[in-house]
Amino acid sequence: MSSAGRLETCKAVGFIGGGNMAYAIASGLLNKGVLQSEQIHVSATNLENLQMRWSPLGVKRTTVSNEEIVRKADIIFICVKPQIFPRILDAFEMAHLDTNVDWSRKLFVSIMAGVTLARLRQNLSMFRPYTLARAMPNTPMQVGVGCTVYCRIETNIANASLYKDMELMFKALGVAHEVEESKINAVTGLAGCGPAYVYEFIEALADGGVKQGIPRAMALQLAAQTVMGAAKTVLDTGKHPAVLKDEVCSPGGATIHGVHALEQGSMRGTVMNAVECATKRAAELS
């Protein structure tokens, strides 16, 4: 475990919703040493399942009370499905009645696909002045190689350090960029949903190996390592993927025959269509 930086202001981080994305963020931050388990609070509707999943991380502050998360955490990640958001607003209303909490020193971060900053501002208006952020991370954050984009509404300058803490957390877990909100849906279609496309490619690559007689466990390992290696080569060399592809394709060789088969199957067009469809769906959720 290596520390990726020290948080300036945040003492407690809360997750409303303990599903896959919340788990990816929290486990990644724990692995990087950015957070300690006692700093994490997480809520979900099923306490037994929540504890079963999160206890191995050392996280003990689990609850079914969203209100408790809102009151106790400095940075609150809203990690529920967009359609669930209206059902949890009562928890924010009830928490806000607690006059012992300095509500001006909170940062609310939504990772809900399609939920705009304008909608967050409308639904969480009781917390004015507030700092609201919207982020789109992806699940490889749990192993420290995620992609995140984010944007914000900030009317409370005192919370600038909390926003910096959020940025530190995202950057500790991979690539992170602040963008205009208009870019969020496209990034959702590319990087937010992208791991699923890559997992399908890895599975297909491994299946191809199995068809040719490679044992499945070995085929899967080779496929995953090949994808990881190719991705790292793109990032480390800075070369365009097309250039790297050409370097592998010898005239009349095996690779160019395989590339031809991918072109016949419209692989590139299909992947582009997947990004477009996911982007449109994210916009529909708005």
114 is annotated as contributing to ligand binding: no
If you write DSSP's letter for every residue of 104-135 in order, what string do you get? GG-EEEE--TT--HHHHHHHTGGG-S-EEEEE
45 DSSP β-pair partners: none
| Distance in angstroms (rounded) separating the CA atoms of residues 130 and 153 | 8
> Which 8-state DSSP code applies to residue 214?
-
Nearest to 6 by CA among 34, 28, 29: 34
21 is annotated as contributing to ligand binding: yes
Contact partners, residue 235, CB within 8 Å, separation at least 6: none
19 is annotated as contributing to ligand binding: yes
16 is annotated as contributing to ligand binding: yes
Is residue 79 within 8 A of residue 111, CB to CB? The reply is yes
Q: Residue 276's Cα: distance from chain center in Å?
A: 19
Nearest to 114 by CA among 187, 30, 42: 187
Q: Edge-to-edge, what's the strand order for the sheet holding 146-154?
A: 61-63, 40-43, 13-16, 75-78, 107-110, 131-136, 146-154, 174-178
Is residue 107 within 8 A of residue 9, CB to CB? The reply is no
Helices of type H across the chain: 20-32, 47-54, 66-72, 85-96, 117-123, 160-172, 184-187, 194-211, 216-237, 241-248, 254-264, 267-285
66 is annotated as contributing to ligand binding: yes
Is residue 174 within 8 A of residue 55, CB to CB? The reply is no
| Distance in angstroms (rounded) separating the CA atoms of residues 125 and 27 | 31
Annotated binding-site residue numbers: 16-21, 66
Annotated binding-site residue numbers for NADP(+): 16-21
Annotated binding-site residue numbers for NADPH: 66
